[in-house]
Amino acid sequence: MSLETVRAEITKTDKEIIRLIAHRQELAGKIARIKIHSRMPVHDEHRASEVLNTVFDQAVEARIDPVAVQRIFEQLIAMSEEHQRECSGDGNLP
């Protein structure tokens, strides 16, 4: 395999990651509607901890840096929560 071929695969993978993040954001919007209807707060510490613990374990199983994976998911959770705030009219996005 050439360098260009492998880089093309990485570019393809990056595009798929972006698609999955966009899908996660769509789901966050659905969660926002449920939380608004149920008068629940955006931030759910128990759920955030659960997600971070799960991805840590999955990263260990996948033999990739679990701390780095947790940092990525901390950012994804923050994005989701900001999107939920936007849906309720309390966010900072333009």
| Domain of residue 17, CATH code | 1.20.59.10
Largest CA distance in the chain: 54
Q: Is residue 64 in a domain?
A: yes
Q: Is residue 94 in a domain?
A: no
Compute the distance between CA of residue 30 and CA of residue 47 in angstroms, rounded to an integer: 16
Q: Is residue 35 in a domain?
A: yes
- Is 92's pLDDT higher than 70? no
Q: Is residue 50 in a domain?
A: yes
Q: Is residue 57 in a domain?
A: yes
Domain count, the chain: 1
Residue range(s) defining the domain that contains residue 47: 3-87
Mean pLDDT calculated for residue range 50-75: 98
Query: In this predicted structure, what is the pLDDT of residue 8?
Result: 98
Query: In this predicted structure, what is the pLDDT of residue 88?
Result: 80
Q: Is residue 92 in a domain?
A: no
Q: Is residue 93 in a domain?
A: no
